[in-house]
Structure 1
């Protein structure tokens, strides 16, 4: 055990502070439907303001030790980032249609600029988040951003995916260890081996389950072919594919829950630790019922689905406080370029800490 981990508060001595999430599907539905309509009417321009409204609602609905979080993002800055994102994405697609060589040059240009945008996005997200009047921040530099968001992803390709757990661990370590609350730094000590273990467990269960679903689908399709309007081979194929997709959909939350638990169980803020207790069965149940709700309501259940997932994920987390949360000192903050924030939304990067 390293010195960082040894400094963590013992669970029987720490004060357990659960995250509380008070947002409701009905309240968020009213925000969501107005945001959607205004974004359509304004041809997407209002989407930046929609993002700020949604974030302000979710942040203010998240409480820790009696106080809520706040979001301070500037919609005009986010809009500028989204315009740049559209230019990059549009230019990338157009370049390949004009010439493969031009497309390759554009791909290289995007790869070169993307780490900077990801880095700026992380700075923007944290700087515009506060708790009890103290802002979060991100101290990672541009050089480290290139290492973690350009060179390490190339390693995944060169290793045919075998380096993915290693890269995942390094990226999470970069994200967490360079983040701070005021002047107090976060730290992260999960090992590379622990990430490989989670990946191996997930792929082993996925592989075995897929084989079982395929065999079960084949025999069930063959056995009940006489009761179906199509032939035995077709029935067997449909059941094999259906059971496999259902299995893959239900197994993904296992990977998500185990990774979130691993990451937060090894994250610390100063002397304060964290614990995450996501359960596979509960998360799978939420995902499946959300999917049915969205399908049956033609998409109108989306805001309710989002609130249900956020509520469970947040309320599964606990802070193990070694002392008072009022002892943090606000660090020196600097305005950060928010260009990367809009780009991250467009290309759906997972930059959340």
Structure 2
């Protein structure tokens, strides 16, 4: 299952002393398949509709457990322990807040404004709690992950930097995103060993800037062209027969725009995945992501076509295809034996105890 690292400066720097295990590469694997997941997806969809959304919490747990159980590293899968009742609590809170806002807005714009500010201030706390819930309920080989970031840092990542990005008309967007990923990765831990994150804001500006210069003009031209086509058809269509002709012209035009946007988004996502995970560490262990933009674009476009032709029924297969590619593009480069590392974490966590379990009984399940 493991493969030897080729000789390189990076590999040499990571090689352990002679008395340690020989340095290896552990690829991530995803063993799920579309046909199997389709059954989960269709049942989740049906029960969520029949219960007016209440079952969505259980649907999320079933889906997440399936994805985690089929994600493997060094022959072992990840596990998800989330409680659907906790997820339902979070969703009820969000629905109540949304309904209260809509109700108040009809009678007083002033009170609605105050409530909007309160909701904005509350968002970082909800996101922070959600990260705690998600990682606490994720385990690998019996050891749970943890999120140890503070509320103060949550406000910085989820409120301060996004606000500054908006005020700068997006110019600070890459910096804000770098701060967010640094908070998410750098404040996470596996057992008692913390993750590290070394990507700089400059790295994010390089990725986003490169694709913005190419992608944004293409998307703008596509959208403007689509708008001009609609205006032209409105002026020329004056009979039912011509309306059908207009429809036949608009469908492929709209599909083309979706394909262009999908290709652009996939390029950015793949580049960001590579950047983020290539700069993430777990103690002395490193990660590598080798996802290719061309392959991702092919998957996105073929998924789009197949989903359209099957009126949405290909959706679970599309999710599995993309997830499998992104997961299997990643690998871990352990600095020593993973068995020894996990055994040490298990002993450390057992000594630390699980006294904080009651803190993680709430999730907004974003």
Which of the five TM-score ranges fits, normalised by the shorter chain? 0.7 to 0.9
Question: Structure 1 length normalisation: TM-score?
Answer: 0.84
Question: Structure 2 length normalisation: TM-score?
Answer: 0.81
Q: Distance in 2 between matches of 1:214 and 1:147?
A: 35
Residues 278 and 123 from structure 1, CA distance in 2 versus in 1: closer, same or farther, beyond 3 angstroms?
same
Residues 297 and 273 from structure 1, CA distance in 2 versus in 1: closer, same or farther, beyond 3 angstroms?
same
Equivalenced residues, count? 327
1:270 aligns with 2:311: no
Cross-structure match for 2:336: 323
1:9 aligns with 2:14: yes
Q: For 1:186, what is the secondary structure of its paired residue?
A: strand
Cross-structure match for 1:98: 107
Q: Distance in 2 between matches of 1:69 and 1:144?
A: 28
Residues 20 and 282 from structure 1, CA distance in 2 versus in 1: closer, same or farther, beyond 3 angstroms?
same
Q: For 2:357, what is the secondary structure of its paired residue?
A: coil
Residues 166 and 298 from structure 1, CA distance in 2 versus in 1: closer, same or farther, beyond 3 angstroms?
same
Q: Work out whether residues 215 and 264 of structure 2, in 8 Å CA contact, stay in contact via their aligned partners in 1.
A: yes
Cross-structure match for 2:357: 335
Q: Unpaired runs of 5+ in structure 2? A: 1-9, 17-21, 227-240
Q: Unpaired runs of 5+ in structure 1? A: 218-228, 346-353
Residues 190 and 196 from structure 1, CA distance in 2 versus in 1: closer, same or farther, beyond 3 angstroms?
same
Q: Work out whether residues 8 and 268 of structure 1, in 8 Å CA contact, stay in contact via their aligned partners in 2.
A: no
Which residue among 36, 39, 47 is the counterpart of 1:38?
47
Q: After the TM superposition, which of the residue ranges 37-46 and 204-213 deviates more from structure 2?
A: 204-213
Q: Work out whether residues 63 and 69 of structure 1, in 8 Å CA contact, stay in contact via their aligned partners in 2.
A: yes
More RCO (CA 8 Å, sep 6+): 1
1:215 deviates by 11
Q: Work out whether residues 7 and 271 of structure 1, in 8 Å CA contact, stay in contact via their aligned partners in 2.
A: no
Cross-structure match for 1:287: 300
Give 1:42-121 correspondences, 5 Å limit. Answer: 42-121=51-130
Residue deviations 1:287-340 (CA, integer Å, cap 9, x gap) = 111112222212211111111111011001111111112223143342154565
Q: Work out whether residues 257 and 278 of structure 1, in 8 Å CA contact, stay in contact via their aligned partners in 2.
A: yes
Residue deviations 1:90-124 (CA, integer Å, cap 9, x gap) = 22333333332222111111111111110000000
Residue deviations 1:148-173 (CA, integer Å, cap 9, x gap) = 11111111122221111111111101
Q: For 1:19, what is the secondary structure of its paired residue?
A: strand
Q: For 2:40, what is the secondary structure of its paired residue?
A: helix
